[in-house]
Chains A and B, each alone.
Chain A
């Protein structure tokens, strides 16, 4: 950690300093520095800083220290993956009549459509999982399934916002931003919140999905694209810019010169901690230039690990690399990593939005996702990281048990499946259920608020007390909702 200049040690300056300083990673070291002095919580009232005696928890002891979220963009089907319904097989091709009005996004309800994939019991718990996700199927004993997830919108944009931020409108902080606001990061050299978008492009809403919203920009997700020419924007001069070829000594000399100019300026403007923060920000930037390439360098991973994630096979290469980089980030102290499977709603399909041909498009998406996601769980476990790492697999809503056209499925916000693993969750259990069709939540309807509240709970955070005053309201990730789902907490 950077040793703060003497002027930073004055408490009155330092609080305002926190809110003005920080940033993707500059903020981390600075925020944790302030947290040591108990100033972080001063803004929201109450004791709100990570406590070592609580395993880093904010309001109570934490079971988990970090989170990786796998987001299936476009709406991954529950009734073709984890929500087994024999009725769909039995009544395949019959009129879909769940006994109430069916209001669909795009289409009129077609007939009942069984999954194109077979189902079989898996693991010690015997959970039925389809052959669409065989690798994940092997790991059901690690997972807690939420089968009665409900979304309040059946439109991709608002619903994707909701799963990320708890609100259907843009402008609210994502879960990763809230967690970095509450806990900061554990690395001095890396951001607290890192996002790995799908290599094919952005999901609906774009980077708005990992925005800091009204929280200081410090807490927004830092985008890392391992397969791009410039994986982190502006980490180095762009590869095609003449400056990319500049002598390394130019950077070294330039930073020394800058430090000299900025120090002199600071000395003639005493009492302004921001000027110290700027000097520190260049030191942190230099450290990131060293640490980030190291995280992205997966060449040194063993052949077995590379094979596990499928990084050398065409279909799994992109998502596999992202999952492997996610593990490396988590290992090195990044608090929250979000990995996206699925890009925009373009054609040919490059996300899970399989209106036209479920078998073709879900098949393609799952072949890319299933093996690497399973690899991540296996790898985290073998390294002893799964115990205190929460893994969340989610999507914005589900898909209808009836057909759209003859081969696709329309949106289903009334029931979908998410699963969680590691980090203090029970394994091999299910919470909530959908009706016999997988059409609507039947028992224990669950919202993103409950999932978020539970994940925060395991991180040692009371979701009702992680607040930020904005435009007259003490905002929370969980709005005015959210119940911790005790049944899936170990």
Chain B
């Protein structure tokens, strides 16, 4: 008999190593001889317990026995649940537990991915072997244990790994990248040519194409530091803040109207937009950027930038009817305020800490160690915050002559920002329901972040602003590792098109794991230790060989890493909506680079009970101020600009940490027929025709302006033929539609 059981146990390990093998062997007689027990215990401890602890016990334990079933003790397993016994020892085919977790679309676990085939095979082997549960062992939920969660571990600068190929690396970044490539037997691409590099850098830093002359100058620049000089020129230009400010405004879900019904104008929101642009251009230390946006008005009460910066908290949608028209004391008023605070706190935590705290409004977070209690502590932080227009202290300038030279946002007399009230009482809401309040909440932040006190109880009874100031300090602390990983990842994403964590506002367990965790930490520490300067971080990143390589694809390497997660080539981004619009304006020579001030309307506006925004009016589109950069357009929440929306512009109703990039027939129609492209094509053709007479030179000039390169002889022939028949404007229109124009390289 003993030999039989040894055989069975051995078979179990075979099953484990090959998940495709299904257990059809004979049922095992009852009884548990010793040898088998030892093997079974190992099976339980090493294979089964981790599955139960990470996937089952949270809903099936003495505290929460869903379906009457507990799986944290041997007794619970033996007792089973409402549906009957959980397992029939030795009979996997009759075991409910296996039935629930196996198959094409299993019932369990209720949340997250189904168990892997290997996990199911492990459970099956264990049941086959008698479902032995070592005596005295009880399990606990480890689904959300913070201990091994990469995102909140303290930061420490990792040492760049050693690599075999020592010739490729230019910076420590490259050693992190190359080490992972070498693990997979992959090699990176060579450096891109100069024309590609200047186009890549100029779009990355400015969101604009380089001019023909800039390209020619860089291609001809033989100085050894030509590349570094180019980077410095680009970083010093105010176009940099306009580009990177746009990324930030996507995340902040900045808009120029309230949204919802009665989508009224927010004519004083723009100073915040300009503050963001200026902060990038001024290379504001990142912690200061964080502090100002959450509590600038409290921490620097005499500086106007602090009053403007908190426009971050007010940036999102706001239900005018719910706040301005509903009466106090009604249930719907409570709901409107709950949702409004939810928008502020969720966006604050998602922006600065890349966590999905909004998931804990109705119950403890299902994946991350964020209890519902923490969520309501954050509600308490914002308990006295409303949004609205607020007078702004006059510009501090030594005399009137200098104040006139200040940028518009520093001169604005009214700004749309936070309006402070005495904090309203906040209670934890059962199931997030305003009609089921529970215990009172005091202000605080996330208890899972180690090393910083997340309890702001000292500020609980103080004025509203102290609560925000406490949160701001908590967020900006060098010890809050989430903050520094989050921004380092966002900067990386801005250059590579995808973050090291490709869910940049979700570092939780439901988000993606970092592809290069050590590199991310290295970048975060680099930022912290270099004066928190984003520009310095940019310099380090674009200096790398990883950044400078070509985007050429390769079937062999794609077979190993099709998604290019390991960066064996540079990614090739399609221009985003604003880049396309701005590049069309730049190419046509019409771009108006005036900075700041109120946004320009790309619609006909009619104020009404419910204001009307009409994007169909030609006279509005052709106004000279509408040729400014897209970041300065007046961004309407309820009625998106159809041209930019179809090119995947960010929806200002929600935080957009990553732009989607689609390719659609409606985009094709927009690029072919939209008033904006037609007008720009005519404008460019007119300029070229007044400058050149020779038809070949004209189409060559169109190529230089639109594609940034000279036309090939073949193109001169075909484009000239088209131009003779249909005009130069139509030729320009077609060039604006090329993939070459729409992609960075």
Interface on A for B, CB 8 Å cutoff? 12-13, 16, 19-27, 45-47, 59, 103, 105-106, 152-158, 160-161, 168-171, 201-202, 204-208, 211, 213-214, 216-218, 222, 228, 230, 233-238, 240-243, 246-247, 249-250, 253-254, 257-258, 260-262, 265-266, 269-272, 274-275, 277-278, 281-282, 284-285, 288-289, 344-347, 465, 469, 471-474, 480
Q: Out of A13, A103, A168, A206, which one reaches B263, CB within 8 Å?
A: A206
Q: Tell me the bound Cα distance from A249 to B563 in angstroms.
A: 41
Chain B residues, CB < 8 A from A205: 259-261, 263, 638
Say whether B642 faces chain A, with CB atoms less than 8 Å apart: yes
Q: Chain B contacts of A25 at CB under 8 A?
A: 664-666
9-residue interface stretch from B54-62, B147-155, B625-633, B733-741: B733-741
Given A247-B726, A344-B610, is A471 in contact with B506 using a C-beta cutoff of 8 Å? yes
Among B261, B331, B350, which residue has its beta carbon within 8 angstroms of that of A103?
B331
Also in contact, A281 and B105, with CB within 8 A (given A16-B563, A206-B639, A241-B618): no
Stretch at the interface among B40-48, B440-448, B463-471, B670-678: B670-678
- Whether the pair B664, A22 counts as a contact (CB closer than 8 A) is yes
Is there contact, CB below 8 Å, between A23 and B666? Answer: yes
Does B608 touch A at the CB level, under 8 Å?
yes
Known: A230-B616, A240-B618. A157 touches B664 (CB 8 A): no
Q: Which residues of A contact B21 (CB under 8 A)?
A: none
In the bound complex, residues from chain B placing their C-beta under 8 Å from that of A288 are 665, 669
CB-CB contacts of B498-514 with A at 8 A, as 1s and 0s?
Answer: 00000101101011000
Stretch at the interface among B197-205, B482-490, B521-529, B647-655: B647-655
Minimum CB–CB distance for B568 against chain A, Å: 12
Q: Is the CB of A281 within 8 A of B261?
A: no
Task: Please name 30 pairs of A and B residues whose Cβ atoms are closer than 8 Å in the assembled complex, sorted by A.
Answer: A12-B558, A25-B664, A153-B332, A155-B260, A155-B326, A160-B261, A168-B335, A204-B260, A204-B261, A217-B664, A218-B664, A235-B673, A238-B675, A240-B618, A241-B678, A242-B682, A243-B678, A247-B726, A257-B734, A269-B572, A271-B558, A275-B739, A277-B663, A344-B612, A345-B261, A346-B608, A347-B609, A472-B356, A472-B506, A472-B508
Select which of B326, B339, B553, B642 is within 8 A of A169 by beta carbon: B339
Complex interface: chain A residues within 8 A of B563 (CB): 12, 16
- How far, in whole Å, are A257 and B655 apart by their CA atoms in the complex? 40
Is B639 within 8 A of A156, CB to CB? no
A472 neighbours in B (Cβ, 8 Å) = 356, 359, 367-368, 503, 506, 508, 510-511
Q: Is B114 an interface residue (CB 8 A)?
A: yes
Residue of B nearest to A264 (CB): B714
Contacts A169-B653, A217-B648, A243-B673 known; list 11 others, CB within 8 Å: A106-B325, A158-B339, A237-B678, A240-B618, A250-B726, A253-B725, A253-B726, A262-B739, A275-B739, A282-B672, A345-B262
CB pair A271–B339 under 8 Å, yes or no, is: no
- Distance in Å: Cβ of A273 to nearest Cβ of chain B: 9
B239 at the interface (CB under 8 A from A): no
Q: Is the CB of A26 within 8 A of B664?
A: yes
B661 contacts chain A at the CB level, 8 A cutoff: yes
Binary per-residue interface labels of chain B (302-343) against chain A in the complex, 1 for a CB within 8 Å, 0 otherwise = 000000000000000101011001100011100110010001
Most buried by A among B554, B646, B718: B646
Question: Taking the complex as formed, is B104 at the interface, i.e. its CB lies under 8 A from any CB of chain A?
Answer: yes
A188 to chain B, nearest CB (A): 11
Given A20-B663, A157-B261, A473-B510, check contact A234 B726 (CB 8 Å).
no
**Least Cβ–Cβ distance between B561 and chain A, in angstroms:** 10
Known: A21-B662, A22-B664, A472-B508. A241 touches B718 (CB 8 A): no
Please tell me if B214 contacts chain A, counting CB pairs below 8 Å.
no
B91 at the interface (CB under 8 A from A): no
Q: Does B30 sit within 8 A of A, measured CB to CB?
A: no
Give Cα A464–Cα B558 distance, bound, in whole angstroms: 35
B residues within 8 A CB of A250? Answer: 725-726, 730
Known: A154-B332, A246-B730, A281-B668. A22 touches B662 (CB 8 A): yes
Residue B265 interfacial (CB < 8 Å): no
Are B670 and A274 in contact, CB atoms less than 8 angstroms apart? no
Please give, as numbers and ranges, the residues of chain A lying within 8 Å of B262 by CB-CB distance.
157, 204, 345
**Which chain B residue has the least Cβ–Cβ distance from A273?**
B663
Given known A12-B562, A155-B326, A170-B653, contact A234–B674 (CB-CB < 8 A): yes
The residues of A that contact B710 with a CB separation of less than 8 Å are none
Partner of B259, one of A154, A170, A240, A274: A170
- CB-CB under 8 A from A238, the residues of chain B are 616, 618, 673, 675
**Alpha-carbon distance between A214 and B654 when the two chains are bound, in angstroms:** 9
- B690 sits at the interface (CB 8 A): no
Is there contact, CB below 8 Å, between B114 and A234?
no
Chain A residues within 8 Å of B655, by CB: 471
Q: Which residue of A lies closest to B674 (CB)?
A: A234
Contact: A216 with B616, CB < 8 Å? Answer: no
**In the docked arrangement, what's the CA distance between A360 and B519, Å?**
68
- Smallest Cβ distance from B232 to chain A, in angstroms? 30
Whether A234 contacts B666 by the Cβ 8 Å rule is yes
Contact: A216 with B618, CB < 8 Å?
no
Docked CA distance A166–B639 (Å): 20
Query: When the two chains form their complex, are residues A254 and B722 in contact, meaning their CB atoms are under 8 A apart?
Result: yes
B343 partner residues in chain A, CB cutoff 8 A: 169
Nearest-neighbour CB distance to chain A for B345, whole angstroms, equals 14
Contact A170 B637 (CB under 8 A): yes
Assembled-state Cα–Cα distance A282/B737 (Å): 10
In the complex, are the beta carbons of A473 and B359 less than 8 A apart?
yes
Interface residues on B, range: 35 or more
Let me know if A258 and B738 touch, CB within 8 A. yes
Given contact pairs A206-B638, A281-B668, A217 touches B654 in the complex (Cβ within 8 A) = no
Question: Are A23 and B618 in contact, CB atoms less than 8 angstroms apart?
Answer: no
- Note all chain A residues with C-beta closer than 8 A to B610: 204, 344-346
Shortest CB-to-CB span from A154 to chain B, Å, is: 5
A291 CB, min distance to chain B CBs, angstroms = 11
| CB-nearest residue of chain A to B511 | A472
**A157: chain B residues within 8 A (beta carbon):** 259-262, 319, 321-322
A-B interface, 6 closest residue pairs, ranked by CB to CB distance from nearest:
A23-B664, A271-B553, A472-B356, A204-B261, A157-B261, A157-B260
Contacts of B725 in A (CB 8 A): 249-250, 253
Given A272-B553, A344-B612, check contact A474 B726 (CB 8 Å): no
B667: interface (CB < 8 Å): yes
Complex Cα spacing A270 to B668, Å: 21
Interface flag for B28 (CB, 8 Å): no
Residue of B nearest to A235 (CB): B669
Give chain A nearest CB distance to B192 CB in angstroms. 13
**Pairwise interchain contact A222-B663, C-beta atoms closer than 8 A:** no
- Bound-state Cα–Cα, A275 to B295, Å: 46
Complex Cα spacing A241 to B681, Å: 13
- In Å, the complex CA distance between A45 and B105 comes to 8
A180 to chain B, nearest CB (A): 13
Shortest Cβ distance from residue B400 to the other chain A in the assembled complex, whole angstroms: 43
CB B184 to nearest CB in A, in angstroms, measures: 15
Q: Select one of A21, A206, A242 contacting B664, CB under 8 A.
A: A21
Distance of A267 from chain B, by nearest CB (Å): 11
Cβ–Cβ contact B339 & A168, under 8 A: yes
Whole-angstrom distance between the Cβ of A325 and the nearest chain B Cβ: 18
Nearest CB of chain B from residue A67's CB, rounded to whole Å: 21
* Residue in contact with B660 in the complex, picked from A217, A228, A246, CB distance below 8 Å: A217
Chain A residues contacting B637 (CB-CB under 8 Å) are 170, 208
Option from B330, B356, B562, B734 in Cβ contact (under 8 Å) with A254: B734
Shortest distance from the beta carbon of B453 to any chain A beta carbon, whole Å:
25
Neighbouring B residues of A289 by C-beta, 8 Å: 669
Instruction: Name the distance in Å between A396's Cβ and chain B's nearest Cβ.
Output: 10
CB-defined contacts of A246 to chain B, threshold 8 Å:
726, 730
Residue B742 at the chain A interface, CB threshold 8 Å: yes
List the A side residues contacting B704 at CB < 8 Å: none
Report the bound CA distance from A277 to B667 in whole Å.
Answer: 12
CB–CB A236/B673 < 8 A: yes
Could you tell me the distance between the alpha carbons of A158 and B336 in the complex, rounded to whole angstroms?
9
The answer for the CA separation of A352 and B645 in the assembled complex, in Å, is: 29
